[in-house]
Amino acid sequence: MSPRTPDFKLALFVLASGLAALAVIAVTQQNGSAPAPAAQPTFVRPRHSVTIRQPIQQPRVETGKTDPQGHPITVSCGSCHATSAPRPDTRLASELDEFHQGLQYQHGSLTCLSCHDASNYDQLRLADGRGVPFPEAMSLCAQCHGPQYRDYSHGSHGGMTGHWDLSRGPRQRNHCVDCHDPHAPQFPVVQPAFPLPADRGLKSTSTAAPHHG
Ligand code: HEC
Ligand code: HEC
Ligand code: HEC
Ligand code: HEC
């Protein structure tokens, strides 16, 4: 023990003088001419953005022909509709006897022209007649489905991916039509059913069963 005592004292001395030096630096900085900052600097992370997916493009119709480069030739909706009279009472896909035959349509008792703009088939329309570009269809859904749109805006309808805490990363919201087909928006009713009994002898009882082969 005793041979070490001088070393220990030396160490104490070094430590003490170091602390004293630090204190002097702190005091001179406080009394220095530079004004002290008004508030403690806080650590701010940038807030990331919330984006809403835009799955809807401007729809066009394929003619079945291709250009010399082999790209399909498409026409705008207006290229037929600008020259034909709109039919405001069409409310069933089965009433379409010439065109748009495969359309699945079941949306309350809305007519097609509740949403499509009779004066310009290349856009949609709001209830007061103002036109809406196709990619902004959500404002149209919101007009008739206020409660669901309100829930959506609060985050309790429609889901999201990414970060809840926007200081950690961006968030992405789904568009209504990511889940609801605008022409047949209702979700199919799910039938309650008993799960099949778990049996190792039966290969495909559970959807969670691993795939073999
Ligand atoms: C090749 C011509 C043609 C093109 C292109 C076309 N349509 Fe039509 N569309 C028709 C015809 C014909 C009808 C009349 C209904 C029928 O088939 O009897 C119709 C009916 C409709 C209707 C029902 C209301 C009404 O006025 O009859 C809507 C809505 C509609 N089309 C929307 C569109 C949209 C949106 C596009 C673009 C994606 C489009 N159409 C492109 C030919 C066309
Ligand atoms: C609730 C509003 C709404 C109603 C009602 C509606 N549509 Fe649409 N329609 C849309 C929206 C939104 C799109 C764009 C969808 C997309 O691009 O995913 C669209 C796209 C279309 C298109 C082009 C893309 C496609 O799916 O072929 C045609 C054609 C069309 N509608 C015809 C009709 C016809 C015919 C009716 C009536 C039988 C009708 N729509 C009723 C909202 C509506
Ligand atoms: C002009 C008014 C109007 C517009 C615009 C409209 N809807 Fe609807 N929607 C209705 C009506 C009316 C019903 C039928 C409600 C019922 O039967 O109880 C309905 C039904 C629905 C349903 C099914 C509700 C259920 O339980 O059956 C969904 C989902 C829906 N709409 C989504 C949408 C989406 C998504 C859009 C935008 C692309 C849209 N709607 C645009 C009026 C509208
Ligand atoms: C992530 C998918 C998803 C998105 C995005 C979404 N919904 Fe829904 N929506 C659902 C489901 C699931 C139901 C419930 C179906 C059921 O209960 O049978 C529903 C139900 C509805 C109904 C029927 C009434 C009700 O509340 O049960 C309406 C109307 C509706 N949604 C409108 C909208 C509108 C408008 C938007 C966009 C602002 C939207 N939804 C976005 C999945 C979605």
Domain ranges of the chain: 87-179
Query: What is the 49 CA–ligand 3 centroid distance (Å)?
Result: 29
Residue with tokens 């650590």: 43
pLDDT tens-digit series, residues 11-65: 656 656 666 655 555 554 555 455 666 677 677 778 899 999 999 999 999 889 9
Residue 9 three-state SS:
helix
CA distances in angstroms from 73 to 65, 159, 199, listed in the order given:
6, 37, 55
Band the pLDDT of 1: cuts 50, 70, 90. Answer: very low
Give the ligand whose atoms come closest to the C-alpha of residue 149: 4
Residue 73: partners with Cβ closer than 8 Å, 6 or more residues away: 62, 63, 65, 66, 67
pLDDT given for residue 33 in this prediction: 56
Identify whether the C-beta of residue 129 lies closer than 8 Å to the C-beta of residue 51: no
Distance (angstroms) between ligand 2 centre and the Cα of 184 equals 10
Residue of 2, 58, 53, 48 lying closest to 169 (CA atoms): 48
Ligand 3 atom at minimal distance to the Cα of residue 177: 35
Confirm or reject: Cβ of 155 under 6 Å from ligand 4. no
How far apart CA 84 and CA 77 sit, in angstroms, is 11
User: pLDDT tens-digit profile of 63-113?
Assistant: 899 999 999 999 999 999 999 899 988 888 888 877 888 888 999 999 999
Task: Quote the pTM value.
Answer: 0.81
Q: Is the CB of 81 under 6 A from ligand 1?
A: yes
pLDDT tens string 108-134: 999 999 999 999 999 999 999 999 999
Contact 162, 171 (CB under 8 A): yes
Gap between the Cα atoms of 127 and 123, Å rounded: 13
Report CA(89)–ligand 4 centroid distance (Å). 27
Distance from C-alpha of 103 to C-alpha of 96, rounded to nearest angstrom: 9
Taking the C-alpha atoms of residue 65 and residue 74, their distance in angstroms, rounded to an integer, is 8
* Ligand 2 pocket at CB < 6 A: 56, 59, 90, 93, 96, 100, 103, 105, 107, 110, 112, 114-116, 134, 137, 177, 182-183
pLDDT tens digits for range 125-178: 999 999 999 999 999 999 999 999 999 999 999 999 999 899 999 999 999 999
Could you tell me if the CB of 141 is within 6 A of ligand 4?
yes
Ligand 3 contact, 148 CB (< 6 A): no
- Pocket test residue of 53, 106, 107 for ligand 3, highest count of atoms within 8 A of CB: 107
Protein residue whose Cα sits closest to atom 26 of ligand 2:
103
Pocket of ligand 3 contains residue 124 by CB under 6 Å: no
